[in-house]
Amino acid sequence: MDRAINATLYVVGNINVDLIMSTLHHWPAPGTETMLEHSELRPGGSAGNCALALDAMHVPHRAVASQGCDGFASWLAGYFTDSAAHWPRYQCETSLTVAVTHPDKERSFISNQGHIVRLTAEDVLQQLPLRAQPGDTVLLCGTFLCTTLFAAYPQLLATLQQRGFVVAVDTGWPPQGWSDELRQQLQIWLTDCDYLLLNEVETLGFAGLPTLEASARALAAQLSGNGACVVKCGSDGAQLWQPDHHLQAAARAVGVIDTIGAGDSFNAGFLSALLCGEPHQLALQWGIEVAAHAISSSPRHYPDWQTLQQRIKEC
């Protein structure tokens, strides 16, 4: 790394095992077996993917999570050695997601509950400093999957603000779908959130409005006023909204191999730029480039610091 970063990014949420199977052309009939051409077993989850990207860039960070007690637990912890020493252990199986990819690059996911549903606000706060250093940021991921933690979001986010952290949230998509009741539940803590990091369909679902611009502006107006609503738009790049300001950045064309974790990789790049004191426009580009590198690699890997900076210069 060619510059010092004095702040730390704490990535909180779902770190689990991912098993990616491809390519499935037809769902097998009950009682039958189908052979696929490719599989990859790797650490994953929204928080896990983001932390791995940060590690590749050598950005100061800690993965804040919990762990199970089966054979996968030590395997998963081995990818996050420094962080995992602080993870509480629960007497349960490790959370596992099987991702099946289809010919059109779309994916289907099958997941168990496992250890991620047991992560509590107390677990999180015990792994964070009592007082943030300037620029220290907490990213909360996998909101709807970490069910016990989600129930404590209002008090948790208020406490993070009191401790002086910049607070970012990537909710993901709710398995139960969006509803007015869920939106009201989320609005309770939005004023304690600085950055909301969503994709296009999540933004529309969260706001419950007909257009992306109206949705993003409405969400931005409900945040703390110290950040923005960031919308990840896939091959169309990314956009950022504040109540009276809008930015967008384009994405270069890449050969897409595996889009799983693209948004998590974007989060790592975007928030790393903010830790470095970069403006929002450049932060969008950092996020896009980290995501582009990740989704065009197999096996999955993330850019190191020098590679990222070279890609930014080429934009």
The pLDDT value given to residue 3: 64
DSSP structure string for 178-226? --HHHHHHHHTTGGG-SEEEEEHHHHHHHHT-SSHHHHHHHHHHHS-SS
The pLDDT value given to residue 1: 56
Cα dihedral value 229, 184, 46, 37, nearest 10: -110
The pLDDT value given to residue 221: 97
* Inter-residue contact 91 to 69 (CB < 8 Å): yes
Q: Nearest 5°: CA angle at 104, between 102 and 105?
A: 65
pTM of the model: 0.94
DSSP 67: B
Nearest partner of 283 among 10, 59, 64, judged by Cα: 59
Cα dihedral value 263, 101, 254, 292, nearest 10: 20
CA quadruple 119, 125, 127, 132: dihedral sign:
positive
Taking only the tens of pLDDT, the chain with its 315 residues reads 556 788 999 999 999 999 999 999 999 999 999 999 999 999 999 999 999 999 999 999 999 999 999 999 999 999 999 999 999 999 999 999 999 989 987 788 899 999 999 999 999 999 999 999 999 999 999 999 999 999 999 999 999 999 999 999 999 999 999 999 999 999 999 999 999 999 999 999 999 999 999 999 999 999 999 999 999 999 999 999 999 999 999 998 888 877 788 999 999 999 999 999 999 999 999 999 999 998 888 788 899 999 999 988 887
The pLDDT value given to residue 192: 98
Return the SS3 of 44.
Answer: strand
Burial class (CB in 10 A: 0-12, 13-18, 19+), 224: middle
